[in-house]
Structure 1
Amino acid sequence: MSIDTPLEANIHSFDARGVARRFRHAAIFGALDALHPGETMRFFNDHNPLPLLAQLRDRFGDNLTFNYRQTHPDLTVIDISLVDSSKARDKHAHGDCCGSCG
């Protein structure tokens, strides 16, 4: 049995490639709604989901950050993290944009 480090315990994998395309966005939104501040969803997809990321920015605003871990023609891996909204506001107040506001 392995013991997760604190960082690994806060990362939850979501492989969209195994979800039927017509259900993907709903499943992704549901998974993100289940995250707690400080947790990350490691998102695996068969393409770069730019329209989805725009929808996520519209829905979650500064509460999400995106970190591309891998981009290849058949595989994109993105860490999508839920941050505490007060911390996100503090970053913007100090001129340190998180990069998710476009």
Structure 2
Amino acid sequence: MSHDCSQPAIPDGIYPFDARGVARRLRHAAIFGALDSLNPGEIMRFCNDHDPLPLLAQIQHRYGPRVQAAYLAREAGHVVIDFLVTTH
């Protein structure tokens, strides 16, 4: 499945987060803040220009099984990941 992050039409319960527009030094804090604001069952649809492997490790360490990641796109220059917040 492919997703165009420039399109604002997102179903209820899915919140877009385009990291490309956030200053690098603020990016991880902004992502954690966004994840902290979600309720169980809600999704943050994350868009970026590279695969954020260090970020994924930080999310796993910080949230454990409460946040699950699923790639929607994983191509050079275009990465989209759904972060699902669970009750675990």
Same fold (TM over 0.5): yes
Q: Which has the higher contact order (CA 8 A, sep 6+)?
A: 2
Task: Could you tell me which runs of 5 or more consecutive residues in structure 1 were left unpaired when the two chains were aligned.
Answer: 86-102
Residue 30 of structure 2, aligned match among 21, 27, 37: 27
Aligned-partner Cα distance in 2 for 1:75–1:27? 20
Kindly state the Cα deviation for residue 10 of structure 1 after the two structures are TM-superposed.
0.7
Alignment of 1:41-80 (within 5 A): 41-80=44-83
CA displacement at 1:48 relative to structure 2: 0.2
Which has the greater radius of gyration? Answer: 1
Counterpart Cα distance in 2 of 1:39 and 1:64:
10
**Number of residue pairs matched by the alignment:** 80
Matches within 5 A, 1:11-26: 11-26=14-29
- CA deviation map 1:26-64 (0-9, x unaligned): 000000000000000000011000000000000000101
* Pairwise CA distance, 1:79: 0.2
Identity of aligned residues (%): 54
Q: Which runs of 5+ in 2 are unaligned?
A: 1-8
1:23 and 1:72 mapped to 2: Cα distance? 24
Structure 1 partner of 2:11: 8
Q: Which residue of 2 aligns with 1:89?
A: none
Q: Which has the higher strand share?
A: 2
Q: TM-score, normalised by structure 1?
A: 0.75
- More helix by proportion, 1 or 2? 1
Tell me how far apart the structure 2 counterparts of residues 64 and 26 of structure 1 sit (CA, whole Å). Answer: 16
Q: CA deviation at 1:83?
A: 0.5
Deviation readout 1:6-25 (Å, 9 max, x if unpaired): x9201000000000111100
